[in-house]
A and B are shown apart, each in its own frame.
Chain A
Amino acid sequence: MELTTVWFLLIAVLWIGYFVLEGFDFGVGMLIHVLGRNDRERRVVVNTIGPHFDGNEVWLITAGGATFAAFPEWYATLFSGFYLPLLLILVALIIRLVAIDYRSKRTDLVWRQRWDLAITVASAVPALLWGVAFGNILRGVPIDADAEYVGGFVNLLNPFALLTGLVTCSLFLTHGAVFVALKTDGVVRDRANSFAAKIGVLAAVLTVALALWLNLSHGSPVSWATTVVAAVGLLGGLAANRRGREGWAFVGTATAVAFLFITAFLVLFPNVMPSSLNPEWNLTISNASSTPYTLTIMTWAAAIFIPIVLAYQTWTYWVFRKRISVSSIRDDADRPEPARP
């Protein structure tokens, strides 16, 4: 296999790792108020991702760095072209991370409620916008002969990209609810369970619509096959969720997220950013890539360190495998807040 293909695969792996992991982080963040009706319950929800969300975000940093290293032209065109959406995503990621870190640093309930609102909004924005960004990459955007994006902002808000955004958003909500059900006990678990069942149906409908649109316009037999795996994953996950088998439900939604993006990268290959103006101006794995020398070094580094990272991150999930519940959280808020029914 050519090195550029290897690196297309590795970049795909990093992005898929990011969306599978941070996908449930986003879902959990959006669901704080839905699954937690008082401060202690909301803390249960947040703390399901407490030990992990920082490490999960590094998948994005590494995906960005690796894109810079392996496909500098892709990195340059993508991030200078999608300027304003990326700015919004960055602002949201900043606020979200600080909000999770700082929400319980004071016992003041108003302080905590404000940060919780921030977590909700700042999780929804990237969940939606990453989908919009990938939708646009798949659809092709105006890229000129100098590999510069010339489409402006409004051009990014087209039906296909917006549908992709809704798919990632609803899929991450399902994935997050299933994760909370897997990691908690008691009332939060029950709520997460029933919410996942409802939002999962919406996610399934949207995902099927997007998959049909994508495959009918760009599909190949392989991408149809991976789409089927994604659909089976999601439906199987929902079935498992209905029976209270949360481990399997999580495997199902994780498969759905992973295979949705595998399908996307398959459809994209060998382009990395197709031009809607002229196919000759497509950014491809060949014309966007670094030298074989750099790719060789990076391949060695990735071959050694990605498995190590996967091993120690998996270990953290093992260390914190125990379910948490309201009794795991010390009640330290200033005044007791009555639990709403």
Chain B
Amino acid sequence: MSAETLARWQFAITTVYHFFFVPVTIGLAILVASLQTAWVRSDQDKYLRLTKFFGKLFLINFALGVVTGIVQEFQFGMNWSAYSRFVGDIFGAPLALEGLLAFFLESTFLGLWIFGWDRLPKKLHLMTIWLAAIGSVLSAYFILAANSFMQNPVGFTFNDARGRAELTDFLALLTNPVVLVTFPHQIFGCLMVGGAFLAAVAGFHLLKGSEPSAASPQTVDSPAFQASKTRELSTDSGAGAAAGQGSEAHTWRTALKIGAVTLLVAGLGVLVTGDMQGKVMTQVQPMKMAAAEALYETEAPASFSVITIGTPDGQRELWSIKVPHLLSYLATGTFDGQVDGIRELQAAYEATYGPGSYAPNIPLTYWTFRWMIALGVAGMAAGAFLLWSIRRGRELRHRLWLPLLIALPLLPLFANSLGWIFTETGRQPWLVFGLLPTAAGVSPGTTIIEVLTSMITFTALYGGLAVIEVRLMLKYIRSGLPDTTPQPVDEGEDVPLEFAY
């Protein structure tokens, strides 16, 4: 294996891993901010309890998103120094702006939000979570603008003397047609994950609550859980139930509905923007569209294969299910449009860039493209089914709900991963499309031992952290809604911090 292959693997591992946390962070940031807004506006206790409950889960996830993001910031320099020299003039700016405009906002105001419950006025405190959420969305824009340059270089000139690309039009960089469609596609994708997460966790508690042995002692392991149970009993029996405070089940039903509706609406957004994205992609990276369909020969009209069984190299098909005209529509917006095939594009690229292979790994792009769509749609279907199943006070009872609820947030999450694997591998063999081949971007001075060391280190560390985080997440999911009644304070003592590490 060469240092290049290892560097690519390392980038793939660290980035795909980092991106498990990003959609959850962005999706939940917006949803938690919305729940808190609902509380501030309606003063209903259920929204406060949901804000605090999902806020905690959000923070457990956020921590890993941040730390894995630090690696991303420095990995370009470590393993891809030739790339860094080549595009630094262009690529560095959005990265620096991401730190300056987005990450400062996100981290600083999140710190204020976490510790500010008892320090800030209600509305100011609400503002802090919104600013953190805005920070996370802004960071998405900048990093997508940077990535979009790699897919479709705009606003630059090539400086022969220095052998690098140089920025000439910053506005063009920020309004790259690719980023304009990728950004909404990604934000909707994040909201799908956030919504599915909300719905699944709420569904899990509804399922648990409908079991006869709901209060069995084996789950009672935290004070928060006990407190919430006592509270539930008291509110259910009517003793001490304040106006506007629903029962535990009622609160979970609200969360489930908010989550499922978010999932469905965001899913529609993903479909619409994904369709727009396909057309932009066909214009700027026709090879990627051809690779998405494994379309070797140019077709007009072109059909979309839902599933294909072919030879292992994907060059010849043995059996398939096809939807006529669909690929033409996805690529061009008309049902009879021509879609260029891989062989024709290969010939055209050879004429432009010289000899070499200009097609990505076709089976990989073909299947990631399909699985992305399939998992996303399956997530929407599961969300719709869940919503339908609790209509008019119906309860979740069947034990098959548990696996479905576990799968629910994973479906859109993995669809996110697959979409990115498709986008990034579909760009190959280019690092910057048409400008810099991937092989030319690696650090010339770094040794295989160094790259191998860092790859093994990060993989092992990330694996360990995944185990810790999932366990912690499950513990806090199980512990249920927190108690939000103010704690009695002894006279003369300092008021304990509402939250502390």
Residues of B close to A95: CB separation below 8 A: 461
Interface-located stretch among A75-83, A156-164, A168-176, A201-209: A75-83
Q: Which residue of A lies closest to B76 (CB)?
A: A68
Residues of B close to A58: CB separation below 8 A: 99, 103-104, 107-108
Residues of A close to B71: CB separation below 8 A: 90, 94
User: If A103-B501, A294-B93 touch, does A320 touch B475 (CB 8 Å cutoff)?
Assistant: no
Residues of A close to B78: CB separation below 8 A: 79-80, 83, 86-87
For the complex formed, measure the closest distance between the CB of B79 and the CB atoms of chain A, giving whole angstroms: 7
Interface-located stretch among A190-198, A222-230, A243-251, A327-335: A327-335
How far apart sit A73 and B93, CA to CA, in the bound complex (Å)?
14
For the complex formed, measure the closest distance between the CB of A169 and the CB atoms of chain B, giving whole angstroms: 21
Q: Does A84 contact B (CB under 8 A)?
A: yes
B443 touches A301 (CB 8 A): no
How far apart sit A91 and B67, CA to CA, in the bound complex (Å)?
9
From A51, A87, A327, A329, B114 is in contact (CB under 8 Å) with A51
Residues of B close to A53: CB separation below 8 A: 111
How far apart sit A81 and B77, CA to CA, in the bound complex (Å)?
9
A73 touches B88 (CB 8 A): yes
B457 touches A329 (CB 8 A): no
Residues of A close to B443: CB separation below 8 A: 76, 80
Residues of A close to B90: CB separation below 8 A: 294
Residues of A close to B104: CB separation below 8 A: 55, 58, 62, 305, 309, 312-313
For the complex formed, measure the closest distance between the CB of A73 and the CB atoms of chain B, giving whole angstroms: 6
Residues of A close to B445: CB separation below 8 A: 80-81, 148-150
From B64, B95, B166, B223, A98 is in contact (CB under 8 Å) with B64
Residues of A close to B164: CB separation below 8 A: 72
How far apart sit A71 and B71, CA to CA, in the bound complex (Å)?
19
B92 touches A69 (CB 8 A): yes
Interface-located stretch among B34-42, B115-123, B286-294, B397-405: B115-123
Q: Does B326 contact A (CB under 8 A)?
A: no
B63 touches A101 (CB 8 A): yes
Q: Does A220 contact B (CB under 8 A)?
A: no
Q: Does A136 contact B (CB under 8 A)?
A: no
User: If A298-B96, A316-B112, A328-B494 touch, does A91 touch B167 (CB 8 Å cutoff)?
Assistant: no
For the complex formed, measure the closest distance between the CB of B97 and the CB atoms of chain A, giving whole angstroms: 6
Q: Does A47 contact B (CB under 8 A)?
A: yes
B115 touches A320 (CB 8 A): yes
Size bracket of the A interface = 35 or more
A55 touches B108 (CB 8 A): yes
Q: Does A124 contact B (CB under 8 A)?
A: no
Q: Does B500 contact A (CB under 8 A)?
A: yes
Q: Does A30 contact B (CB under 8 A)?
A: no
Residues of B close to A79: CB separation below 8 A: 74, 76-78, 81
Interface-located stretch among B203-211, B331-339, B407-415, B446-454: B446-454
From B87, B108, B494, A327 is in contact (CB under 8 Å) with B494
B501 touches A69 (CB 8 A): no
User: If A58-B104, A327-B494 touch, does A80 touch B96 (CB 8 Å cutoff)?
Assistant: no
Residues of B close to A97: CB separation below 8 A: 63, 66-67
Q: Does B168 contact A (CB under 8 A)?
A: yes
A65 touches B496 (CB 8 A): no
Q: Does A239 contact B (CB under 8 A)?
A: no
For the complex formed, measure the closest distance between the CB of A106 and the CB atoms of chain B, giving whole angstroms: 7
For the complex formed, measure the closest distance between the CB of B487 and the CB atoms of chain A, giving whole angstroms: 8
Residues of B close to A5: CB separation below 8 A: none
B108 touches A313 (CB 8 A): yes
Give 28 A-B contacts (CB < 8 Å), ordered by A residue.
A43-B501, A50-B115, A61-B73, A61-B103, A65-B73, A68-B88, A72-B85, A72-B87, A72-B89, A76-B88, A79-B76, A79-B77, A81-B445, A84-B450, A91-B461, A94-B68, A104-B501, A105-B475, A106-B472, A290-B89, A291-B167, A294-B90, A294-B93, A294-B167, A297-B167, A309-B108, A312-B104, A324-B497
User: What are the 10 A-B residue pairs with the smallest beta carbon separation, nearest first?
Assistant: A72-B88, A79-B77, A69-B92, A62-B99, A68-B92, A65-B96, A76-B81, A80-B81, A55-B108, A101-B63
